[in-house]
Amino acid sequence: MSTTSKSPKAVARAAYAVVQGTLPALSHKFSPKRFTQPQLFVCLVLKVFHKTDYRGIVAILKDSPDLCKAFGLVNVPHFTTLQKASKRLLRLRVANELLHNSVKTFGNRKKVALAAVDSTGLEARHISRYFVRRRRSKQLEIYENTHYRRWPKLGIVCDCRNHLILSAITTRGPSPDINEFEKTMAPAINRYIIKHILADAGYDSESNHRFARDRHNIRSTIPPKHGRPTTKPFRGKYRRLMQQRFNRETYGQRWQVETVFSMIKRNQGDVLRARTYWAQNREMLLKVLTHNIGIILLVNELFYRASAVHFSVRLCSE
């Protein structure tokens, strides 16, 4: 499953269904009552879906009355209304509740047989590849590589079975993954029963193995490659176990989390439009929520197609 739904109306309806059970209709009893919080959240999801900014999604909604009818929007909000709503609706606590509700909408499965954890960096600004890797001289084929000192960083835990994101954290890179294992895993562990977790060598440490295995009874598979190369047995119990009996067949499924990052960057873009640190964090969480909503829609579409085919075949046989 490396694709998501491409229908804006379907995305709007699914986002509206996900948020209705999580957020109240109004943020305050004295609010103007022109828009509900679920409607504003759907506008934010559509902004990411269309790869545009606040002004852009307002223009799209004004030109698409049928799209507005999909989630009961009568008046199109001002772009500043959406910007202020993002600060309220995409706080970490609220975003985690919405993320959990999206996974629950998929099938309400609390047991996850195999999950994977990883992180990726996103672009903080739009820039031409020509300027990132610009030519020093027109005569000589010599290029000068430009490196960014800081960039937005997204860490996730995904279900390898269906590519749904179970938890997500937002930070700023460069930063070592080894220190973010517990922080990334904690929201998923509190919500789901994970049997097996996969991670790359960036998370290799004895403390991370103990966190997963001893404290939460989760089998962990991490390549023991941290530190200087050596043929001597490692001192840690679990790192020594990885050194002696490493399950390469199961570890091969770790690429599922790379597929999730590829889906996010291909469908929603790898560039963040936000400029400040906290706004970039909110935009990354919004990308995660939009990804889960797209997968829910795609699975439902495939299910209804299979049901329709089965029903037609049954009629023909009768």
Distance CA 102, CA 293 (A): 7
Q: What pLDDT, on the 0 to 100 scale, is given for residue 113? A: 94
Distance CA 6, CA 210 (A): 42
Place of tokens 């609706």: 89
Question: Which of these, 52, 42, 39, lies nearest to 12 by C-alpha position?
Answer: 42
What the chain holds in terms of domains, given with CATH numbers, is: 8-89 (no CATH), 92-125+151-288 (3.30.420.10)
Question: Which of these, 274, 290, 287, 291, lies nearest to 151 by C-alpha position?
Answer: 274
Q: Which residues pair with 151 in a beta bridge?
A: 173
List, run by run, the mean pLDDT of 10-residue segments along the chain (318 residues): 75 90 82 89 95 95 95 94 94 92 80 95 76 54 62 95 94 91 95 95 94 96 84 86 91 95 93 92 95 80 40 40
Q: Give the pTM.
A: 0.86
Looking at residue 33, its amino acid is K
Q: What pLDDT, on the 0 to 100 scale, is given for residue 133? A: 60
Buried b (16+ CB within 10 A) or exposed e, 260-282: bbebbeebbbeebbbeeeebbbb
Taking only Cα atoms into account, the Rg of the chain, rounded to an integer number of angstroms, comes to 22
Place of tokens 């570890």: 251
Half-sphere exposure (Cβ direction) of 24: Cα atoms closer than 13 Å: 7
Distances (CA, A) of 75 to 19, 40, 84, 195: 19, 11, 17, 47
